[in-house]
Each structure stands twice: as structure tokens, then as C-alpha cells.
Structure 1
Amino acid sequence: MLLNQLIKELITKMGDDELIIGHRNSEWTGLGPIMEEDIAFSSMAQDKIGHSWALYRILHEELGGEDPDQFAFMRSEKEFKCCHLTEMPIGSYDFSLMRHFLFDHAETVRYNSMLQSSFLPLQQLARKVRGELKYHTLHADAWIIQLCRAGEESYLKMQTALDNCFQLACGIFEAGPDDKLLADEKVYPGEEALYGQWIENIYPVLVKASLNVPERKEPVYGGRYGKHTAYLQPLLNEMGEVFRLNPEATW
């Protein structure tokens, strides 16, 4: 029973991260700096919301959880387990692009670690989404490098964005007290192992872009335990506004 509960918590934090950052990235629809980016960000946002729905379905169908729509739109803020990075407003494009880069590499590392997961539904989902994640990281890498080579002003903006995002991104890997059990049971390797792989993945891109990689000094934790920023509740209100008008409606 303890293992099942830990798997539920793992899947919930994964799904909540995807749902929230998916909605945040969707806010760029119609506002992208160029038409191609408008389409790309919107498409990747839709992918992320689709991933969250797939994760909530696993909770519902395999682990006795709530209906995915109810789970997504009817929980209180404290019941969400998303990290703070996903909650932040979109800000300027440099911030959103850097968040996209750091988060999507973290997401890729996490799903890659689950390609051999002992929990079969996660293994199957990891195999299904890896093609989408490859596109997401290629997109992020290309734009990070391109903007860092676009002149001094552009480079400085990207370095500032990295400095502002990095400790928030480290919060993606906030460990739980029972990570070792999940690792021992080969569900996934644990947050510290994922953090190490993430650094290995992003470092060559950042070096190529001539960006200085910050140290992990003060990672922003709390989201996995229901402690959130002031930005999450207004977003939840907006996300669930239509659903809450009639939660029993069918579409």
C-alpha cells in the first residue's frame, strides 16, 4: 500500500507540473514574437496538457484516483504538487523560453528514466511521449543558442533569464522522504539522480551558448508539499472557471 501511495504522489506531481506549465505556455498564443513561435509554443503547450491528462488517467484507471477532469479542476491549491517554476507568470519571452528549456530537459530526463520502470503504465507512457519531448528539447536548444548569438543585448537577457530561472528549476527535483523505496522498487531512480542527469544534458547546450551555469545554492522548494506562490490560485481560478459552472456536464 505504501508503494502505491508513493507512485500516486509521483504521478500527481508530474501531472500537475505538466498541467500548470501547459496552461502558462498557452498564454503565448497570439503573442509570440514571430508567427512560427506562436504556433510552436501553442503546440507544445497542448502536448503538455495532453501529458497531464494521460497521467491523471493512470491515477484514475490504475490507482483508484478521481476522474481526470475533476482532479484537474476541482482540487484546492494546497492539493496541487507542482513546482514553483511552472506557476510563475510568463513574463517576457526570454524568461518563458529559458523556463521551456530547463523544464523540458528535466521532463525528458524523467521520462527517459521511466522507459524501464517497473510500473508498466509509466513505462508505456514514457515510450509514447518521447518523440514529442525530443522535438520540444530540440526547439528549446536551437532558440537558446540562436538568441545568445544574436548580439550583446540578447545574450545578456538570456543570461539574466537563466540566473532568474535556475534555482526555480532546481525545485523540480525536490525529493520526497521515500524516494529510496521508489528507486529500490525500480519505479524511477529518484530526484537526485535525475538532477545529475539533467545537469549533464543542459550543460553542453549552455556552454555552446556561452552562458554561465549558476550553482545550486538555494533551490526553490515547497511546491511538492502544497506550498505555492501567490500566482497559482488565480491561475487555477481561470483554468477551472468553465468547468466549475457545471462539473457534471458532458461535452
Structure 2
Amino acid sequence: MQIQQALPELLIKIADDELIIGHRNSEWTGLGPVMEEDIAFSSMAQDKIGHAWAIYRILQEHFEGQDPDQFAFMRDAAAYKCCHLVEMPIGAYEFSLMRHFLFDHAETARYQSFSQSSFTPLQQLAGKIKGELKYHTLHADAWILQLCKAGEESRQRMQGALDDCFQLAGGIFEPGKEEALLISENIYPGEQALYQQWLSTISPVIEKAGLIMPQMTAPVYGGRQGQHTQYLQQLLNEMGEVFRLDPEATW
């Protein structure tokens, strides 16, 4: 596989992850437990969608990709390469917070690696969003620690959320067929290296919170190959409902 095929596949899975989790997190707008948290979760959701749009623009400009809006809203579920973690419904607040914690630390590890990428547009994007990612992970860490110290019931609920999310989070690091080529071209270090970096980052927070780290025994793969849960197409139908009324409209 040539780099002109391998690199777009990497970009699509990253952008699709961000687009979908951005829309999932936006579902908490107006529902957050306190006003400040309502605003914070909504703001971070907007950041995620912005990151996705930036990568879709890279695909358009460097690989003759589609218009970002068309690409985001006009595909069927099987054409998406997002992991299963991001497409799951928001559930109870502890599930969304734990997903936020696990995903944002994975995203941060990925973009930190991109700061050394030989592909200049990725390197530049990593520099632009560095501050946003720092805020996102600080926010996630603070809430994990706060809720785990809020009493035994709260800690148990957070442990349950971690147990529910952990194998799904393993799917973030599903390896692709193109990985060896991307590593050899210094695009990024590969999924296993990112997974190890992620573990080393989240482990101290989980330990400090008094939670038990699950074993990664059955990471949920398939999303990178277009195999998705029933929830993704339902979300896509909602996301693209207005856009599909007139895809050529100028807003």
C-alpha cells in the first residue's frame, strides 16, 4: 500500500473519532449536573468537532478528498472508521466522564506523537490544538478524582464506568494494515506505542482516584474496518438530518 493511500486512512479514523465523540458529548448541552459543567462539556464537544473539520480539510487539500461537510454528513455508517467507544450512547454521566477521560488522554498521546510527524500538516495541527487538549485532560482528571473521593457510592459508580469503558477504549488503538509503512515514514509511532503511552499516563490518575485498573483482555475492534454498533447509524441520521435536506445549500 502506498503512502498516498495509507495516510488518508489514518486521518479518516482520527477525524471520525473526533466528529462522533464531539456530537455525543454535545448531547449533554442543557443537561449537565451544574451550569459550569454544562458549559465545559459543550465547549469541549465543539473543540472535538473543530479538530475533525481540520483533518477533513487536510484530506481535501492534500489528498483530493471531499468537501468536509459532505464527507462528515453524507456517508453511511459502514464508511466511517471510528472506534466503538465514541459511538456508544451517552448513558449516565459517569459513563460519559470516563469515556472523556480515556479518550482524551489517548487523543493527547496521538497528537503529541504528531508534533514529531514527517507530515507537516499534522505537525502543524498538533501545535495549534495543544492548549485545548491540555485543558481537556486537566478537566477529565479533575472530575475523575473529585467523584472518586465523593463517597463509596460515587467511587463504585466510577469503577463501574471504567470497567464498562475499558475494553471499548482498547479499540482506539486497533492496528491498521498500513501501520508499518506509516511508522517507517515517520508519520507516527504506531498504535502499540500510543497504547503504552496512554497506559503510562492514565495509570497514575486511576491509582490516585482509588480505582482498580482493568486488564485489557478483549479490546473491541472492528470500527476501523467499518463494523459498527447499531448506535452509529442512528446518530448519523440525527447529525445529518438538516444537511441532507439540501446538501448544496450555502449557510
TM value normalised by structure 1: 0.99
1:131-172: CA deviations, max 9, x gaps?
Answer: 000000000000000000000000000000000000000100
Aligned to 1:249: 249
**What SS is found at the alignment partner of 1:241?**
coil
Q: Name segments (4+ residues, structure 1) moved above 6 Å.
A: none
Tell me by how many angstroms 1:177 deviates: 1.7
1:162-195: CA deviations, max 9, x gaps?
Answer: 0000000010000012211101100000001000
Aligned to 1:206: 206
Report 1:70-81 matches (<5 A).
Answer: 70-81=70-81
Aligned to 1:226: 226
Unaligned runs of 5+ in 2: none
Aligned to 1:44: 44
Amino acid at match of 1:189: P
**What SS is found at the alignment partner of 2:16?**
helix
Aligned to 1:93: 93
1:97-127: CA deviations, max 9, x gaps?
Answer: 0000000000000000000100000000000
Amino acid at match of 1:91: G
Counterpart check, 1:82 vs 2:97: no
TM value normalised by structure 2: 0.99
**What SS is found at the alignment partner of 1:117?**
coil
Amino acid at match of 2:210: S
Amino acid at match of 2:49: I
Amino acid at match of 2:215: E
Amino acid at match of 1:42: S
Give the whole-Å Cα distance in 2 for the aligned partners of 1:192 and 1:180.
11
Amino acid at match of 1:161: A
Report 1:99-110 matches (<5 A).
Answer: 99-110=99-110
Aligned to 1:114: 114
Report 1:56-71 matches (<5 A).
Answer: 56-71=56-71
Tell me by how many angstroms 1:4 deviates: 1.4
Tell me by how many angstroms 1:15 deviates: 0.4
**What SS is found at the alignment partner of 2:99?**
helix
Aligned to 1:215: 215
Give the whole-Å Cα distance in 2 for the aligned partners of 1:145 and 1:125.
30
Give the whole-Å Cα distance in 1 for the aligned partners of 2:142 and 2:4.
39
Counterpart check, 1:158 vs 2:158: yes
Amino acid at match of 1:220: V
> What's the Cα RMSD here?
0.6
Aligned to 1:139: 139
Amino acid at match of 1:56: Y
Amino acid at match of 2:195: Y
Give the whole-Å Cα distance in 2 for the aligned partners of 1:93 and 1:62.
39
Deviates more, 1:23-32 or 1:172-181: 172-181
**What SS is found at the alignment partner of 1:201?**
helix
Counterpart check, 1:129 vs 2:92: no
Tell me by how many angstroms 1:25 deviates: 0.1
**What SS is found at the alignment partner of 2:65?**
coil
Aligned to 1:9: 9
Identical-pair percentage? 72
Give the whole-Å Cα distance in 2 for the aligned partners of 1:50 and 1:111.
15
1:45-74: CA deviations, max 9, x gaps?
Answer: 000000000000000011110000000000
Amino acid at match of 1:30: G
Aligned to 1:31: 31
